[in-house]
Amino acid sequence: MKTWVEISKNNLIHNLKTFRSLIGPDVALMSVVKSNAYGHGLIETAKIAQEEADWFGVDSVDEALELKKQGIEKPILILGYTLNERLKDVVQNDFSQIVYNEDTIKKLGELSNELNKKINVHFKVETGTSRQGIGEEEIIERLKIVKQYPNLIIQGLSTHYANIEDTTDHTYAMKQLERFKDYIQLLKEQGIDVPIKHTACSAAIILFPETYFDMVRAGISQYGLWSSKETLVSANGKARKIELKPALAWKTRIAQVKELEPGTPVSYGLTEKVSRKTKLAILPIGYWDGYDRHLSGMGNVLINGSRCKILGRICMNMIMVDVTDVDEVKPEDEAVLLGRQGDEEITADELAQKIGTINYEVVTRINPLIKRIIV
């Protein structure tokens, strides 16, 4: 392999056990593996996480089907939207589905009659994130639809916080929590006591036990990444000493080593010229692989335990790095794009800061065709 991703089984299990220690034995732990497990590999991650997780959360029915095909037996909740024409796949495979649209609920109800099967749905309620969800003015009408279909079961009630991780002021999140409790009461008044209530993402699990209810959804931090630096600061402020261990390393191999004379330009656009006699290593990866082009001229990779600067523009399938100060560099030596080598480490947070984004995007955008290997 010219490039590959390594997933540490020990680190992933460590992070899940950390969450389990926080929530205790009576709260269900969902491992969110949507979007190729945040870039870590859907199947590879799920096969490890099933040792600790009670549920899996995915974005699409296709992800759910892939988990089932690979022998995952834990219950699966589809968090994202499912087209009406694909809802039969949900029903026939006994997946649970987040719902909010009237048409989705009606279609599932009709399928429950047609197939004579019980169907579990989770109402997603709008508490202030302004994404998918049922508003207070709509929920009674949605409940009326559900009551028309005896096989349609409201298994869960959920919401998502808009500002629990990017701030140290959690006033807005606590208002959302109170709105969620209002929905619980409203459903009780309608004679519905929902068995699985869930609101907590990674940051909420770490910071606020009052958000746990019956289940929590471990996302980015099960992979060893903090939701944000504010979450880390808040955790330290609450004296919650939590160690997260990154589960992902991304590696490649040197394709060529060459020497350049001072003043020689490197890569497209001649955006960078070397100022000294330079030893250059060419790595066979680029923005096709998910290595962001904004790292051109300022990113680093690790070779023989040393940080090596990227020179010039990142190409579709190649990057060039300065290895002048690294001894005994040769073709097919390992280079680390993300992760640790010797005493040096390149983190997803470091790359995110350089390109003006979040660690979520850095790992999630690693090309899913690149092989994930469990180590």
CA 215 to CA 218: how far, in whole Å? 10
Active-site residue, from 34, 107, 124, 251? 34
Whether 2 sits among the annotated catalytic residues: the reply is: no
CA 218 to CA 220: how far, in whole Å? 7
User: Strand 334-341 relative to strand 248-253: parallel, antiparallel, unpaired?
Assistant: antiparallel
- Specify whether the CB–CB gap between 288 and 278 falls below 8 A: no
Going by the DSSP 8-state scheme, the letter that residue 271 receives in this structure is: -
> Dmax over Cα atoms in the chain, in whole Å?
79
| DSSP calls for 97-109 | EEE--HHHHHHHH
What are the residues whose beta carbons fall under 8 Å from the beta carbon of 330, sequence distance 6 or more?
Answer: 254, 257
- Specify whether the CB–CB gap between 231 and 165 falls below 8 A: yes
Q: Which residue, among 297, 284, 302, 314, has the nearest Cα to 344 in the 3D structure?
A: 302
- Specify whether the CB–CB gap between 157 and 184 falls below 8 A: yes
Residue with tokens 């808040």: 234
**Tokens read off for 17:** 């056990």
**Tokens read off for 268:** 């497209």
CA 23 to CA 360: how far, in whole Å? 23
Active-site residue, from 69, 144, 175, 268? 268
User: Strand 265-266 relative to strand 152-158: parallel, antiparallel, unpaired?
Assistant: unpaired
**Tokens read off for 334:** 């390992």
**Tokens read off for 313:** 């523009």
- Specify whether the CB–CB gap between 324 and 278 falls below 8 A: yes
Whether 118 sits among the annotated catalytic residues: the reply is: no
Mind telling me the catalytic residues?
34, 268
